A and B are shown apart, each in its own frame.
Chain A
Amino acid sequence: MAILEIQNVSKLFNDQVVVTDISLDIKHGEFFTLLGPSGCGKTTLLRMIAGFSKPDSGRILLEGKDITNLPPEERPLHTIFQSYALFPHLTVAENVAFALKMAKMGDVPKEQIKILVEKILVDVQLINFANRYPHDLSGGQKQRVAIARSLVDRPKLLLLDEPLSALDARLREHMHIELVKLQEETGVTFIYVTHDQSEALALSSRIGVMNKGKIEQLDKPQAIYSKPETYFVADFLGKCNLLAAEIIEVKKHAIKLKVSDILEFDLEQENTEDFKVGDKGWFSLRPEKIKANRNEPEDEELYTAKATVKGYYYYGDVTLYILLLENGVKLQVMLSNTRAKPTAFFDEEEEIIISFEPGSGNFLSK
């Protein structure tokens, strides 16, 4: 069941379209992520859901009720801001109690406020900081106060606007676990905005990848990563080889591709009706899907080609090799450093054989 329905929403700023005709259903209890580069319109969309700005056209429904024109204080949802936006003149406990004191639906009695505030402060492990002021807290603690403040009155929806971007990498990973745990425990639907693709993949039940005011692809993390539908999605999420490709033959359950002018192989497709010979596009292939060897591999399922090592980047757990195909086209290959010796597999200028399953890549027509 959809808790939030976004119907044909568009927004212009100074005649520039920032959100273009977006329609989107957010399911009850899901961890939904809007992922995209800065300026793609994801924060604008979030601010329209929160009520800080109004769409120029379209409607937003919460549990079937039109909230498009409601002011923010009348929407049963909360936002976690990038800067935390804690009230500097109030203590941690007073910050957390704010929403309950404002309470739209009837007054919450004082004793009840105290109990609820204490309970949520225990949940976020800040009960000993209840009487401190925000300027006495660390970044991670401020973050947890912001979360507690927004969850204390059990909103129907929690909007998170790049909430972890101000934290260092270690703390961010810790907060990932905390956020998923809190979301599962409270059952509150999360809409999470980020430009960090690994964060999106790790946290979300579904991801909407946004680009230039539109949602390019909407799916589960695994599907977004392994079956990107557009050049932008393949390029934005993780590392990806994007090679020019052309269809040279359309079969019943496969298309034959000519990739980078020298590679030719069949790519299986469930349905080939939409393809025709001469269609141009890209073949996307993740660097970790490619194997590299000194000799020809025996597996016949694999497609092989010759390549020359041009250089590598050592990341510790993996090494990224930059290879050149015979016609000079660049290819990235990621190899796990599984051996005991910390030395590179290959030397520069070494000629090797690369191999991959064609099915681990995708043909992108746009």
Chain B
Amino acid sequence: MLESKPSRVLLFLGALGYLFLYIPIAILILYSFNESRVNVGWVGFTLKWYKVLFTDKQLMIAALNSLIIAVISSVVSVILGTLAGVALNRYKVPFLSILVMIPIAAPELLVGVSLLLFFLMINFTLGLVSIILAHTAFCISFVAIAVKTRMHGMDNSIIDAARDLGANRFQAFYLVLIPSILPGIIAGGLMAFTLSIDDFVITFFTAGVGSSTLPLTIYSMLKIGVTPEINAISTMMIIITIILTAIATKISPQLFR
């Protein structure tokens, strides 16, 4: 039997790590229910900041933009990234693995500036579409890596086995390959969604007039000061993230093992 109980020291250090990560978030959530306009002392419980939030038209549009961008760019990057991940694993394509890694490794600032220059060069109007294209460009890499990692531990002969048992190329792909790498695909998709919905730097360079996203709007609100309204919107984003993670854990438990 393996020792299943960690030592006290380890438990203490672990708890310390979690506290460091989660105390700021807990305070943020707490203060979104605070009566006071400033984040200094607790005055009393209220839900009014949430009411303010939902009546703030500018913030609602930004949230909707963020959602549209995140959904479309994660769906597109799941499709393309899965294909890239399979290719990375199955075939020896020269430079492919480097090309896939660059968008992850390169500084976001550099990616943002280069995309801006590129869009200006081809005379592409900056707006939702340009943000979606930009987000897809870096999300593909994350999906590809997730899929490739999943395939790495997989027995490659299952594709041969599917063909051998009567499946044609396409049946082998969607009946055997896709289902067996699904946890990797879901992981990649979730990563893409979360990266897209809170991306600031690349979005900042590729956004145009009237296509402001939630992070961009929050940033411009911060210039005035941290208001409980920002706490409220942040709390909602955290809740959405928790729900998504819970769903993903339920769909594919192996993912988080």
Contact = CB atoms under 8 A, between A and B. Distances in A.
A79 B160 contact: yes
Interface string B165-184: 11110010000100110100
A104 B157 CA distance: 21
Interface stretch (A86-94, A302-310, A323-331, A349-357): A86-94
A98 interface: yes
Contacts, number: 64
B155 A83 contact: yes
B180 A71 contact: no
B166 A89 contact: no
A277 interface: no
A99 B154 CA distance: 21
Contact of B161 (A71, A79, A103, A104): A79
A85 B166 contact: no
Interface in A205-263: none
A98 B175 CA distance: 10
B113 interface: no
Given A88-B180, A89-B179, A102-B171, A81 B160 contact: yes
A79 B182 CA distance: 26
Please tell me the size bucket of the interface on A. 20 to 34
A81 B157 contact: yes
A78 interface: yes
Contacts of B160: 50, 52, 72, 79, 81, 85
Contacts of A102: 165-167, 171
Given A81-B161, A83-B157, A98-B162, A89 B182 contact: yes
Contact of B163 (A72, A90, A149): A72
Nearest to B183: A89
B3 interface: no
Nearest to B176: A87
A86 B164 contact: no
Interface residues of B, number: 18
A150 B179 CA distance: 21
A102 B239 CA distance: 44
Choose among B162, B171, B179 the residue with the greatest number of A CB atoms under 10 Å from its CB. Answer: B162
A191 to B, nearest CB: 14
A279 interface: no
Contacts of B166: 73, 98-99, 102-104
Contacts of A88: 154, 158, 180
A150 B166 CA distance: 11
Given A88-B180, A89-B179, A89-B180, A99 B158 contact: no
A221 B171 CA distance: 41
Interface string A118-161: 00000000000000000000000000000001100000000000
Interface string A324-364: 00000000000000000000000000000000000000000
A84 B160 CA distance: 11
B161 A87 contact: yes
Interface of B: 154-155, 157-158, 160-168, 171, 176, 179-180, 182
Closest 3 CB pairs of A and B: A102-B166, A85-B161, A85-B157
